[in-house]
Amino acid sequence: MIRILFVCLGNICRSPMAEGLMRRRLELEGLEDQLELDSCGVGDYHAGDPPDPRARREAQRRGADIEALRARRLRRDDFERFDYLLCMDDSNLEALRAMAPPESRAHVGLLLDFAPSRGEREIDDPWFGGADNFTRVADQLEAACDGLLDHLRGQGRLH
């Protein structure tokens, strides 16, 4: 079982969308029993809250139901539990690296690193924008999720 944690700032926009969109990909490809997914935020601003309504709408439009997800904060034991901790932007990455125990063997990096053809490093927070921002973010997330699955297949970690 490969365990993946998607991380953003508050866990109500980008990371729950990533979790839902990846879960949908796994269902479509019959891989849901090979990966465990979760999402969290580096801050506890929205702990216990559902995803932003705009994120829920965009995910639903793409066939992913994220209604039941609830925001939580990154925990130190996440570095032991998950194989991949994938964040949305450089500030999230800096926070993860500062919090990572020295003995952690988890891969900590940017989610968009798995979609190099997009020519982007960061997935901007859509919080302050309109529906178009959530559509753009979902496009980035889908490309990154596809790239991550290709990466795991290339390593022989998915069957």
121 is catalytic: no
Q: Which of 13, 14, 25, 89 is catalytic?
A: 14
Alpha carbon distance 155, 159 (integer Å): 11
Alpha carbon distance 80, 137 (integer Å): 28
Q: Which of 52, 78, 89, 125 is catalytic?
A: 125
User: Which residues make Cβ contacts (< 8 Å) with residue 137, sequence separation at least 6?
Assistant: 13, 14, 17, 58, 123, 124, 126
Residue 117 burial by CB count (10 A; 0-12/13-18/19+): exposed, middle or buried?
A: exposed
14 is catalytic: yes
Q: Which of 8, 40, 87, 145 is catalytic?
A: 8
125 is catalytic: yes
Of the candidates 19, 33, 3, 31, which has an alpha carbon nearest to the alpha carbon of residue 105?
3
Which DSSP helix (H) or strand (E) runs through 90? helix 90-99
Alpha carbon distance 11, 55 (integer Å): 11
**Catalytic site positions:** 8, 14, 125
